[in-house]
Amino acid sequence: MTARLEIVVLAAGQGTRMKSDLPKVLHPLAGRPLLAHVIATAQALAPVRTHVVYGHGGERVLTQFPDAPVTWTEQAERLGTGHAVMQAMPGVADDAVVLVLYGDVPLVPAAVLEPLVAEASGGALAILTVDLADPKGYGRILRDGQGTVLGIVEEKDASPEQRQIREGNTGILAAPAASLRAWLGALKNTNAQGEYYLTDVVAMAVAEGLPVRAHRAANEDDVLGVNDKLQLAHLERVFQRRQAEALMRAGVTLMDPTRFDLRGTVECGRDVLIDVGVVMEGHVKLGDGVTVGANCYLRDVELGPGTQLRPMSVLEEALVGPDCRIGPFARLRPGTVLAGHAHVGNFVELKNAQVGEGSKVNHLSYVGDTVMGRDVNVGAGTITCNYDGANKHRTVIGHRVFIGSDTQLIAPVQVGDDATIGAGSTVTRDAPAGELTLSRTPQKSIAGWKRPVKQPKTAG
């Protein structure tokens, strides 16, 4: 039976190698802070409490996680990993099992951690190790001839022979709380760093005859930490590759899985195709048969079945019905709702606009704060002038309206069903249903007028 689990997440590091004013654990991975990934993994293990030890940039860290299901503990002086865990231990019950995680190690699956918790529930000290092609920077696992773990030596304290060991310490461990508390109280800082190493508890457990169980992580990427922007970029690609592979297994066609970024969640129907360079954030839902063209950006968007999103389009907080055609180079801003079979073409921007069934806004237009009926045709260069400098006003366009090119609709204004607006008009009053409305300056030609001619330049 698994004992009461309490998790301690160490998130106090400054991250000097990131060369950034942003605390290391707040750097984004797939659109979420590194620490958010670790907290999510912790919650997947159903602990009774998760303690996060913070330090550098503490106020910014706390502000970023106002509703996180964690207990915050400050490490005012950063004196090593052992010292960091000490800060959380006053809030940990003696009958608990403690699992130590790191705020800059974001990709450890819960399934990799469960065996550690089970071992510690049985009274052992459990550590997570990994075989590394290049173990530089990692503490090395020391074993005897029979393979029994004897201790961990940090790289700066290791001999040349010990540095040849490729089994590295991930830092992640689980232990009975009472034992861990006693070991932490006995830590010394007599080492090259002058810090209290959490890894020293391994040798203490061995000296007491307590079993030390080392579990090797099968995948190096699962346990990699982030110390600089290169490592952050590597883990970003690892994470994105895993998401892309999961989508393809579910039946989604990705034209190039290495050129796809999901920084949130996506639901996909059958026969969805996503071209290269697509970025998705928030929650995106794609119906059956949806096609997303190259280099599109979607945030909190739903596309109905059969809709085609053509290249270079940007959609944010928009709801799109079935069999619509959008783009290329279209922008749907928050509050946009398209009914089925609507068309939004190149260089068209919609904002807080409802577009009815079968309506078309195909070229170079801006439609904002508008309710548009079905089967409307909006000509090129049309704009709704909805902002008077202080307030937004609404434009209402009925069914089957034809709006000629280069028209300005000065809100608040209504255009009745079956109305026609002549090209080049500025509409300032309601346009009646079924009628032609236009406003134009009379055209005239001036006989004998001559275009100015440039005078030739004189020499010299």
- Residues known to be catalytic: 363
In angstroms, the CA 430 to CA 440 distance is: 16
**Distance separating alpha carbons of residues 17 and 208, to the nearest angstrom:** 38
Cα separation, 333 vs 353, in Å, equals 9
Beta strand spans in 223-375 (E): 253-254, 260-268, 273-274, 278-286, 291-292, 297-299, 302-303, 308-309, 314-316, 319-320, 325-326, 331-332, 337-338, 343-346, 349-355, 360-363, 366-372
Q: Are 192 and 156 spatial neighbours (Cβ–Cβ below 8 Å)?
A: yes
Closest CA to 147 of 124, 161, 167, 163: 167
Is the alpha carbon torsion for 123, 186, 184, 213 positive or negative?
A: negative
Tell me if residue 171 falls in helix, strand or coil.
Answer: strand
CA 328 to chain centre: 25
The DSSP secondary-structure symbol of 225 reads: -
> Omega before 328 cis (within 30°)?
yes
Burial of 440 per CB tally in 10 Å (0-12, 13-18, 19+): exposed
